Amino acid sequence: MDPLAAAYERCRRLHRRHGRSYYLATRLLPAWKRRHVHALYGFSRYADDIVDATADLPAADRARRLAAWSARFLAGLDGVPVDDPLLPAVLHTIRVFDLDLDDFRWFLASMAADLTVTGYDSYTDLLAYMAGSAAAIGTMMLPILGSGDRSAAREPARQLGFAFQMTNFIRDVAEDHALGRVYLPRADLARFGLTPADLAATVAARRGTAATRALIAFEIGRARAHYAAAAPGIPLFQRSPRPCVRAGFRVYGAILDGIERAGHDVFAGRVVVPRRRRLALLCRSWSPAPLSAGPPVRQLAG
């Protein structure tokens, strides 16, 4: 297998192993587009793994690894041959679609922030982080998915990135805490009479309290507001990728539904969407029926 094909295959395997719901959604894309989506997933996943999958290493060592990999990537953008099992696919995808390089720089800056920032004071602060870690992924995807009016589709794509990441943050509170991070803003904790120490105690007890369940319900409202803001952008995509985007919207939204059915307790165990349910949602995604973000939503910031 030639190096470029091998790099695309490595990205596909990373995607299949770690992004199962998203990977299933990509099966609804035209075949020629899938490998480019896998490449972007592989890029983001590999950077994330440098930060999180090597958590036993000192932060300084992880920072050096991330900086070295980022430097190889940036050199590749300048045409320098890169000896890397994954980056050739990413660089090829960037060239094919003339992707905005600033999106990649912002993403890498957010990954670097995870090595030093352990929490956020306000939702505005968290949104600034997610602009690189999530919204930038949405805008990277736009040229690949295709849109007749890319400028109009840009903000909905960003909002879908925010929605997906907030869903992950809500579901993975305990896992992120184990990595030394709390993404739920301190102002939100205080709104419900909670401190970071209270959250740590809840994680240790593996059982939500009335206050933490209220906090999670509030954050679900924030996430649903982003889904609602993203929904009008889906008809702006070209016809062929719309089922894929609808599938991601529905499957990730179903995670929030599961958390609500669990009484907003994300501490007792990881909420997952059963495979049968995911497949049913994928089948529904061929329908152009309007998407619902769920129950009434709260404001995006505050």
Among 48-62, 102-116, 185-199, the least confident range: 48-62
Which pLDDT does position 278 carry in this prediction?
83
Q: How many residues does the chain have?
A: 302
The whole-number pLDDT of residue 5 equals: 94
Per-residue confidence (pLDDT) for residue 297, from 0 to 100:
45
- What tens digit of pLDDT does each residue of 112-165 get? 999 999 999 999 999 999 999 999 999 999 999 988 788 899 999 999 999 999
Query: In this model, does residue 288 exceed pLDDT 50?
Result: yes
Facing residues of 119 across strands? Answer: 182
The three-state DSSP-derived secondary structure of 42-81 is HHHHHHHHHHHCCCCCCHHHHHHHHHHHHHHHHHHHCCCC
Q: Quick one: average pLDDT of 65-80?
A: 93
Assess contact for 178 and 233: CB atoms under 8 A. Answer: no
- Give CA–CA dist 34/27, Å, rounded: 7
* pLDDT over 50 at 51, yes or no: yes
If you average pLDDT over every residue of the chain, what do you get? Answer: 91
- Token look-up 């919204």 returns 135
pLDDT above 60 for 186: yes
More confident residue, 191 or 298: 191
pLDDT confidence of residue 294: 60
pLDDT for the residue 232: 93
Residue 171 and residue 60: Cα distance in Å, rounded? 28
What's the DSSP call for residue 132?
I
Look at 14-23, 156-165, 223-232 and tell me which has the smallest mean pLDDT: 14-23
**Position 300 confidence tier, pLDDT thresholds 50, 70, 90:** very low
Question: What is the pLDDT averaged over residues 189-205?
Answer: 97
Q: Match 């404001």 to its residue by tokens.
A: 299
Q: Is the pLDDT reported for residue 292 higher than 70?
A: no
Q: How far is it, in rounded angstroms, from Cα 208 to Cα 274?
A: 22
**Strand, coil or helix: what is 213?**
helix
First to last CA, the chain: 52
Global pTM reads 0.91
